[in-house]
Amino acid sequence: MNNVILMLKDLDRRVRFMLISQSIYTFGVQLITQYNTLFAQTLGASGSDVGLINSISSGVQGALSMHIGLAAEKHSIKKIMLVGLLCDISAMAILIFAALLHTPWYVLIPAFILYFQLIRYLPFADMIVVLFANSDKRATVLGLSRLFRGLMGLVAPAIASLVVTYYGGISPEGIFPLYCISLTIFTSVFLLTSKFFPETKLSNNVDKSCSNPKNTGFIREYSEFFKDKNVRRWILIKLFARDGFQFMLTIFVPLWLVNIKGATPVELGLIAFFSTVADMLFQVPVGKLADKIGRRRAFFIFTMFYCLGVSILIWSPSHEYLMLAAILGGATGSIVGGIGGTAFTPFITMWWEIVPTESKGKLYGLDNLLITISRAPAAMIGGILWDVGFKELTLLIPVFVELFIVVPLIFILPKRTGRKDMLIKTK
């Protein structure tokens, strides 16, 4: 604990600010995550209507993500984050309006587009950590940030359930207070970011680039970006890994637990609890290990826990083994959680380190685009396999992809140069 406190004191003030602000922001997100779809249903949305809402929001995100990435390089990171927070605030206002007036479900479409999709605050928090933390402490600080997020993930849903129950259960009236609280939280983060986070730009050539159309061509800039061989390799890794086939687990692990293993609501709660606690306890140690022995080695070690956890989930002889699978990271229905989920910390550290500072905006845009285009095919493949009876295979495919595609691709990546990213222009 003393070492963590000393490390926090030595961090750049912008990193310390993001650790605090992203924790507050995560609380607001976790407070309402479980209830957004339920809220749409209380306003009359069917399952297909909910799918349509999410498809539209994902489509808009994919269409604009790379443009937003370029904007992050042409303007200050602070301005982009503030615009994103304004989107979240506007979304909460729409949701509050819908709850008060019991509007039709389609009024929620703009809110789903704006909230947590268009400009994502948390990836910018990761970017800032990578930019301002020393290279030998980056993974540790990212692990610490996920520890803070994990704490919010434990506390916020419990508070949300109490609030919804007190105000009448799953109904517009019961969910309405959550949106009011989140509106207050997002507004507070907006004011804190506006006041205390300095103007920070990724390039000294911002003004020149903006004034010269030849330098700001969308296709031209990204065509140069994609010439980097490592970027192309990482596109494959992201498509197959965390943004691709592993997304299948978020859909089908809950179905497997309930329909195949017969897990009760209490057991589902215990699985989520053990997974979250294990993830929190291992985040900082895994980050330190990644800084000491290298990102790749740490990823290889801890992604094996995830693969083992999924295997135990499939072939567990009793419900007690489901808890073991949760601790290992294979029973969460999420791309993070459990010991194996901590592999994401060295993974995301490597992702943000693959390009120099002035290209990290494009990397952010690429990240959002890959999320959009990779999840739909994975979900479709998983759904077909599940419906035709290959349920075990549906859960095993992400493990096979991790072991035989993702791990080899990461293995052939060049070692880090040790270069310390520095932001070029700050005020």
137-162: pLDDT as tens digits:
899 999 999 899 888 888 888 898 89
Instruction: Kindly tell me if the per-residue pLDDT of 425 is higher than 70.
Output: no
Q: SS3 of 201, please? A: strand
Domains of the chain, by residue range, sit at 12-197, 225-411
Burial of 159 (0-12, 13-18, 19+ CB in 10 A): middle
Burial letters 56-70, b for 16+ CB under 10 A, else e: ebbebbbebbbebbb
Question: What one-letter code names the amino acid at 376?
Answer: A
Helix, strand, coil: what percent of the chain each, to 5? 80, 0, 20
Given this model, what pLDDT does residue 119 score?
Answer: 84
In this structure, which topology does domain 12-197 adopt according to CATH? Answer: Growth Hormone; Chain: A; (1.20.1250)
Q: How confident is the model at residue 427 (pLDDT cuts 50, 70, 90)?
A: very low
User: Which contacts (CB < 8 Å, 24+ apart) does range 229-232 have?
Assistant: 230/354, 230/413, 230/414, 231/354, 231/355, 231/363, 231/366
Residue 329 and residue 339: Cα distance in Å, rounded?
A: 5
Burial of 185 (0-12, 13-18, 19+ CB in 10 A): buried
Residue 245 and residue 252: Cα distance in Å, rounded?
A: 11
Q: Return the residue matching tokens 């330190």.
A: 288
Q: How confident is the model at residue 335 (pLDDT cuts 50, 70, 90)?
A: low
Question: CA dist 59 to 114, 118, 276, Å?
Answer: 12, 10, 30
Residue 221 and residue 214: Cα distance in Å, rounded?
A: 10
Given this model, what pLDDT does residue 209 score?
Answer: 43
Residue 282 and residue 277: Cα distance in Å, rounded?
A: 9
Instruction: Kindly tell me if the per-residue pLDDT of 214 is higher than 60.
Output: no
**153 CB-near residues (< 8 Å, 6+ apart):** 26, 30, 276
Q: SS3 of 425, please? A: strand
Residue 332 and residue 367: Cα distance in Å, rounded?
A: 23
Question: CA dist 258 to 248, 298, 331, 400, Å?
Answer: 16, 33, 12, 24
Q: Return the residue matching tokens 């680039």.
A: 209
Q: Give the gyration radius of the chain's Cα atoms.
A: 21
Question: What one-letter code names the amino acid at 232?
Answer: R
Given this model, what pLDDT does residue 211 score?
Answer: 40
Q: SS3 of 170, please? A: coil
Per-residue model confidence as pLDDT tens digits over 343-356:
999 999 999 998 88
Instruction: Kindly tell me if the per-residue pLDDT of 309 is higher than 90.
Output: yes
User: Which contacts (CB < 8 Å, 24+ apart) does range 46-49 have?
Assistant: 49/105, 49/106
Average pLDDT for residues 106-133, to the nearest whole number? 87
Residue 369 and residue 61: Cα distance in Å, rounded?
A: 7
Structure tokens at 353: 């380190």
Count of all residues that appear for the chain in the document: 427
Longest CA span, the chain: 65
Given this model, what pLDDT does residue 376 score?
Answer: 73
Instruction: Kindly tell me if the per-residue pLDDT of 1 is higher than 80.
Output: no
**224 CB-near residues (< 8 Å, 6+ apart):** none
Domain 225-411 has CATH 3.40.50.20: no
Contact assessment for residue 210 and residue 74, using Cβ atoms and an 8 Å cutoff: yes
Instruction: Kindly tell me if the per-residue pLDDT of 336 is higher than 50.
Output: yes
Average pLDDT for residues 224-243, to the nearest whole number? 82
Per-residue model confidence as pLDDT tens digits over 54-88:
778 878 888 888 888 888 888 888 999 999 999 99
Least confident of 114-123, 183-192, 255-264, 305-314: 114-123
Instruction: Kindly tell me if the per-residue pLDDT of 135 is higher than 50.
Output: yes
Average pLDDT for residues 234-261, to the nearest whole number? 81
Q: Return the residue matching tokens 């096979």.
A: 400
Given this model, what pLDDT does residue 185 score?
Answer: 96
Given this model, what pLDDT does residue 228 score?
Answer: 86
CA-based nearest residue to 367, from 241, 216, 247, 243: 243
Bridge partners of 201, per DSSP, are: 425
Q: What angle do CA 374, 376, 382 make, to 5 degrees?
A: 105
Q: SS3 of 200, please? A: strand
Question: What one-letter code names the amino acid at 310?
Answer: V
Q: How many CA atoms lie within 13 A of 335 on its CB side?
A: 18
CA-based nearest residue to 424, from 205, 202, 208, 207: 202
Residue 284 and residue 37: Cα distance in Å, rounded?
A: 33
CA-based nearest residue to 246, from 168, 315, 172, 337: 337
Given this model, what pLDDT does residue 282 score?
Answer: 93
The number of angstroms, rounded, from the C-alpha of 207 to the middle of its chain's C-alpha atoms is 31
Residue 13 and residue 18: Cα distance in Å, rounded?
A: 9
